[in-house]
Amino acid sequence: MKNNQYLRHVELCREKIQSFSKYPYCLSAIKNLSILDFHPKVTYLVGENGTGKSTILEAIAVAYGFNPEGGTRNFNFSTKDTHSDLHKNLKLVKGVKRPNDGFFLRAESFYNVATNIDEIDGSNSYGGISLHSQSHGEAFLSLIRNRFSGNGLYILDEPEAALSPSRQMSLLVIMNELIRKGSQFIIATHSPIIMSYPDSIVYELSDGIKEVKYKDTEHYKITKAFLDNPEKMLNILLFEE
């Protein structure tokens, strides 16, 4: 199975790092990172804000050759250089297969990617309609539907930021279709819906990085507790001193 995936694992080249007291190496998840194995289908990075999910995901994408702000490996625009140098200290171990397609999609810089697509492509291969003429969520899904062709490596950073709960479920359907076409996903997310794909591995970042079951993630447990009894949770949150 390992030979049938595009990325097998990533290693942190600890001997190249001068100090673990500086950002991003001071983050516990990075400080304690050695090797992170990827699932052939879907790998999730989950955890609280500030634990390093997006930082690690971005570094993996950049080390693979993607533009830091997103896009395919052919995108080379830059609006603001804010990524860390973590990618320089990562070693990506690839499988035998090479992907025919690939995309790094991040919610926070999606506007910049959509602008670049309009400039270089005219949206011809992205559904024929400018992504800027659609709502944020519809444009996000439109890009995935029309640009992701399968047999690809797709790295998604917090896609739920652009998607309603029903559209998050639509994303799962699209992901499944692409996985059946030989694709591999690596996703950083807070969404219990998006992280629910059954054939996957979930890593939770806190003091380090540990593999967890879907229903054991903090995101799932907190969301379930709230939805099971919102009145009780709101009373605790808003009225108890």
What are the tens digits of pLDDT across the range 115-155? 555 555 554 545 555 554 556 567 778 888 888 899 999 99
Distance of CA 54 to the CA centre of its chain: 7
The Cα 175–Cα 236 span in angstroms is 37
What's phi and psi for 199, nearest 5 deg?
A: -95, 85
Q: For 55-71, what is each residue's pLDDT tens digit? A: 999 999 999 999 887 77
Total domains present in the chain: 1
CB 203 within 8 A of CB 42: no
pLDDT of residue 67: 83
| Amino acid 111: pLDDT | 46
Closest CA to 27 of 5, 4, 2, 47: 47
* Cα–Cα distance, 63 to 57 (Å, whole number): 10
How confident is the model at residue 77, as a pLDDT? 47
Question: Can you give the CATH number for the domain in which 61 is found?
Answer: 3.40.50.300
Closest of 46, 50, 35, 28 to residue 216, by C-alpha:
46
Query: Which residues constitute the domain of residue 45?
Result: 2-238
Amino acid type, 241: E
Q: Is 232 exposed, middle or buried (0-12, 13-18, 19+ CB in 10 A)?
A: exposed
Could you give the C-alpha distances from 153 to 45, 162, 164, 224, in angstroms and in order?
16, 21, 24, 31
> Which tokens go with 40?
């052939």
Mean pLDDT, 10 residues at a time, the chain of 241 residues: 79 94 93 95 95 93 86 58 81 93 76 54 54 62 85 94 92 96 96 97 94 97 95 89 57
